[in-house]
Amino acid sequence: MFNIFAFLVEFKDDPIRERANAILAAVPAHGSTGGHPSSLSLTSFALQSDFTGSMT
């Protein structure tokens, strides 16, 4: 019985893995790098706080 469930999980896992790999391979073609955006530098933070009028 366990072998049947293991086979089904493996069978379902392959298309998910293939789709994820295809997406990861296509990301550089769109020019994005993924991940979190870089944090603000101190000068950017100062300009933003001056523009918005607040320190947050």
Query: Which tens digits make up the pLDDT trace of 10-50?
Result: 888 888 889 989 988 888 777 776 667 667 677 777 777 66
Say what the pLDDT of residue 52 is: 59
Distance CA 42, CA 47 (A): 9
**CB-based contact 40:48 (threshold 8 Å):** yes
Given the structure tokens 């947050």, which residue do they identify? 56
Distance CA 46, CA 53 (A): 10
42 membership: H or E segment, kind and range: helix 42-52
pTM value is: 0.42
